[in-house]
Structure 1
Amino acid sequence: MTADAEDAFAAVADELRVRILRELWDADDPLAFSDLRTRVDVRDSGRFNYHLGELRGRFVEQTDDGYELRFAGQKLVAALHSGVYTEDASVGPVPVDGTCFDCGGTLEARYEDELGRVECTDCGMNLVGGGVPPAFVDGREDDLAAAIDGYLRTQIRQCADGFCPQCSGPTTGFLEENDYGPQAVFECERCGAAFRGIASMLALDHPAVVAFYHDHGRSVRNARIWELRWFDDVERDGDAARVTVTVDGDELELVVDDSLAVSVA
């Protein structure tokens, strides 16, 4: 973090400036100075101009057609809508259809402290878990587990595609061993965030696995992680990990190398 970051946070540390950003977000087109001031409901033109000036250049762009949000302003307002900075949501625990693929125990989903989890009530294994914005679980109380699963799978895809879900910086991947077997680890070169999960998570979107499921009249993308009985069938194979995907008794073997590249064995 640099002094520029401190200046950016200071620029929006005012309720009036946040209102300006929200009004520009809601506008379909750029807004003239007077129209924007009317929407924000500030009578003092000088005071309004000062606060608008503090946003201009970094969060707000002045064009021939009026004022509009820059990309940074859009990202900031979107973050406010996500509820990460403004909401303290809690959902569950709620029962989940299916059983733990480690011990066969019952499952439940919960969301609290910005963390979503699907875990086993018997052995305590966390089958799916990670940070989830409150907005993503809003209205999904009846399907909480699926919402958590879907959100975290999008993060896996982002990491595998080479960019950090937190800051969009470049990621590098490698294998790591723990009590649950070979783990895939992605680290961001920019912010230092790390994302970990069992190596089989990299097979979820591999073309061979998608086709394998399709050939059996199924969709791996519609299946929840805890429904994939092969998900923990991962073994270390030298510097790589071997994943065995099983559908209707048929098997497909994949290899995840130390850089997390996936190939058919």
Structure 2
Amino acid sequence: MTVECDTCDVGAAVFVPPVVVETHDIGTNPDAVQRFTFTRMQRIVRGFCPLCSGPFDREVLGPMGESDNQRVAIAHTCEECGYVVKTTAVVLLTDHPAVVSMLDDAGIDYRDIAFWRRPQGVEYREQLPSEEPLRLRLSPVSRTSVSHS
């Protein structure tokens, strides 16, 4: 299934089992897809393959484009079954305590963020200062840079 944000250029191809689509009215309840995808991404971020529960190996693929809201691509490959998931690096930070706190201060519940939709008013640039160890810097677009380590 491909889902796209209705207010920006973000989109994602996501695997959604037929039972999720069949048992939820996706047209009137699109949050069912978001909740399913969020739960699946939590497993991936924590290093578990959503297919076989094997461990993931992560590889930085590099920047995705040259725009102001540039993203850094990460490939997660299951060491057991070979399943590959590609995400942006920011997905790895979504439930980091500092990020959760920052979003909460802005009135945003991180659990409600769909991976194909940026929260309203949240624009950032991902920068990769180091791959070993992996470090990611998020900087607000058109604002003063803020970094967390």
Q: TM-score range by the shorter chain?
A: 0.7 to 0.9
* 231 and 148 in structure 1: CA distance in 2 versus 1, 3 angstrom threshold: farther
Which segment drifts farther, 191-200 or 168-177? 168-177
d(CA) in 1 for partners of 2:56 and 2:45?
A: 8
- Aligned equivalent of 1:182: 72
CA offset digits 1:111-153 (Å, max 9, x no partner):
xxxxx222368x9x55222211011123222123x33332222
Tell me which amino acid in the other structure corresponds to 2:118: E
- Aligned equivalent of 1:20: none
Pick aligned residue for 2:109 from 195, 215, 219: 219
Pick aligned residue for 1:133 from 17, 34, 37: 17
Pair 1:168-2:53 in alignment: yes
Pick aligned residue for 1:237 from 113, 129, 134: 129
d(CA) in 2 for partners of 1:251 and 1:212?
A: 15
After TM superposition, the structure 1 = structure 2 runs for residues 1-265 of structure 1, keeping only pairs within 5 Å, are: 116-119=1-4, 127-138=11-22, 139-144=25-30, 146-180=31-65, 181-225=71-115, 226-228=117-119, 230=122, 233-239=125-131, 240-244=135-139, 253=147, 264-265=148-149
Contact 1:185–1:196 at 8 Å: present in 2 too?
A: yes
State the Cα distance separating 1:242 from its structure 2 match.
Answer: 1.8
Where 1:185 maps in the other structure, the secondary structure is strand
Where 1:182 maps in the other structure, the secondary structure is strand
* 190 and 173 in structure 1: CA distance in 2 versus 1, 3 angstrom threshold: same
State the Cα distance separating 1:218 from its structure 2 match.
Answer: 3.0
State the Cα distance separating 1:196 from its structure 2 match.
Answer: 0.6
CA offset digits 1:2-26 (Å, max 9, x no partner):
xxxxxxxxxxxxxxxxxxxxxxxxx
- TM-score (ref. length: structure 2): 0.73
- Structure 1 unaligned regions, length at least 5: 1-115, 254-263
Tell me which amino acid in the other structure corresponds to 1:199: A
Where 1:177 maps in the other structure, the secondary structure is strand
Identical pairs, percent: 25
Return the structure number with greater helix share: 1
- TM-score (ref. length: structure 1): 0.44
* 209 and 178 in structure 1: CA distance in 2 versus 1, 3 angstrom threshold: closer
Contact 2:74–2:87 at 8 Å: present in 1 too?
A: yes
* 148 and 182 in structure 1: CA distance in 2 versus 1, 3 angstrom threshold: same
Aligned residues: 136
d(CA) in 1 for partners of 2:80 and 2:28?
A: 37
Tell me which amino acid in the other structure corresponds to 1:237: P
Where 1:152 maps in the other structure, the secondary structure is helix
